[in-house]
């Protein structure tokens, strides 16, 4: 594969990721802790739960992309595997915000030093045999789907802003 | 650029688009006209407005991707340029649903016959001179950003479902 073409494609995908992350950060930082604690819509998840959820999904990307170990794997149990109503863990907004920033900084530190070719290697949830047949299931594909996931919840978090 | 590599990129992006479209369709089809007419959250856009908005944005993609002319350009004025509160156009839910299906079918008819190379040509909102310097601003990049846009609003439309 031609490196300059790979670079082009990586740029397309990473620009979308960075743009979504920048907008999500700006939204979160524009909200008070009190606003973030409210349900995004009546009877739905709170902003703090969604923040924990996004951070835990991003943290899980570290191992999914085969870059290292998640920083706080227990958050996946609390904010992804467990719905908010059954989540008994009282994490402060400031701790959630710090976790969110740390996870994204950690990912970015990996991303900025990754050569374009490496993005087209397999992610951690597919076997080497299956990857031979399905080369689209690579690390960069994880970025596409996680950007979509972030946008899905950013659309919901946006309801916490005053009109 | 190597055609098989281009095919791989196109598959990654189009799989994400098709997956989002399938989920959005399933959500819209699971809602009654009455549910779709409700605000997705108190004081926010209705489901019907968001349906018109998504359909109009997708219709605009036909010209943005240089594939032809939008089917109903007036919907862009009503559902994108005009906020719901100022939109005086009473379009029935069935007409909106038909428009949504027609636009996506039209796009798909173009997509299935597009050679991989063509996805890396410029879209309609960039000059040939700028495109030489910024080759990432191609048709495929439009698909990445419009998939994100669809996911953003799908996250909001999901609130119309009963828990």
Helices (H), A40-162: 47-64, 74-76, 93-111, 128-133, 139-157
- Mean pLDDT score of chain B: 95
What integer pLDDT is reported at residue B36 of this predicted model?
97
The interface predicted TM-score (ipTM) is 0.96
Interface touch B154/A156, C-beta < 8 Å: no
pLDDT at residue A163 tops 70: no
Are the C-beta atoms of B132 and A134 separated by less than 8 Å?
no
From A13, A55, A123, A45, select the one nearest B147 (Cα to Cα): A13
pLDDT at residue A162 tops 90: no
Q: What percent of chain B is predicted at pLDDT more than 90? A: 93
Task: Return the bridge partners of A46, or none.
Answer: A39
CB < 8 Å to B6, chain A: 5
Interface touch B152/A149, C-beta < 8 Å: no
Residue holding tokens 């993609």? B61
Give residues with Cβ within 8 angstroms of A35, minimum separation 6: A47, A160, A161
* CA pair distance A100, A94, nearest whole angstrom: 10
CB < 8 Å to A151, chain B: 148-149, 151-152, 155
Interface touch A136/B11, C-beta < 8 Å: yes
- Report B:25-64 residues touching A (Cβ under 8 A): 40-44
From A116, A32, A152, select the one nearest B27 (Cα to Cα): A152
Token reading at B26: 């399933």
Other beta carbons within 10 Å of A16: 21
- Report B:118-157 residues touching A (Cβ under 8 A): 135-136, 138, 140-141, 144-145, 147-149, 151-156
What integer pLDDT is reported at residue A87 of this predicted model?
87
* CA pair distance A6, A115, nearest whole angstrom: 10
CB < 8 Å to B39, chain A: none
Give residues with Cβ within 8 angstroms of A126, minimum separation 6: A134, A137
Q: Does residue A122 sit in helix, strand or coil?
A: strand
Token reading at A45: 């998840």
Closest by Cβ to A148, choosing from B1, B6, B16: B16
What integer pLDDT is reported at residue B163 of this predicted model?
61
pLDDT at residue B1 tops 60: no
| pLDDT tens per residue, range A48-93 | 999 999 999 999 999 999 999 999 999 999 999 999 999 888 899 9
* CA pair distance A67, A142, nearest whole angstrom: 13
Q: Is B1 part of the contact surface with chain A (CB cutoff 8 Å)? A: yes
* CA pair distance A124, B67, nearest whole angstrom: 38
Q: What is the mean pLDDT of residues B46-68?
A: 97
Residue holding tokens 């009473």? B90
* CA pair distance A107, B30, nearest whole angstrom: 37
Q: Is the dihedral of CA A99, A105, A109, A115 positive or negative?
A: positive
- A–B CB contacts, 8 A cutoff, strictly below: 82
Q: Is A117 part of the contact surface with chain B (CB cutoff 8 Å)? A: no
| pLDDT tens per residue, range A108-148 | 999 999 999 999 999 999 999 999 999 999 999 999 999 99
Full-prediction pTM beyond 0.90?
A: yes
* CA pair distance A16, A147, nearest whole angstrom: 7
Interface touch B155/A155, C-beta < 8 Å: yes
Q: What is the mean pLDDT of residues A34-54?
A: 97
Q: Please return the burial class of A90, using the count of CB atoms within 10 Å of its CB with bins 0-12, 13-18 and 19+.
A: exposed
């Amino acid at each position: 594969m031609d490196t300059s073409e790979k670079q082009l494609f990586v740029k397309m995908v990473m620009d979308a990721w960075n743009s979504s992350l920048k907008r999500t950060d700006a939204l979160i930082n524009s909200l008070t802790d009190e606003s973030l604690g409210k349900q995004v819509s009546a009877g739905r998840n709170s902003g703090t739960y969604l923040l924990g959820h996004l951070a835990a999904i991003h943290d899980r990307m570290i191992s999914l992309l085969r870059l290292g170990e998640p920083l706080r794997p227990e958050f996946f149990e609390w904010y992804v595997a467990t719905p908010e109503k059954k989540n008994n863990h009282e994490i402060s907004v400031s701790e959630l915000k710090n976790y969110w920033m740390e996870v994204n900084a950690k990912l970015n530190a990996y991303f900025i030093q990754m050569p374009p070719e490496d993005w087209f290697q397999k992610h951690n949830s597919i076997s080497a045999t299956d990857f031979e047949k399905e080369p689209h299931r690579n690390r960069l594909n994880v970025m596409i789907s996680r950007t979509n996931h972030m946008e899905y919840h950013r659309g919901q978090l946006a309801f916490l802003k005053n009109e």
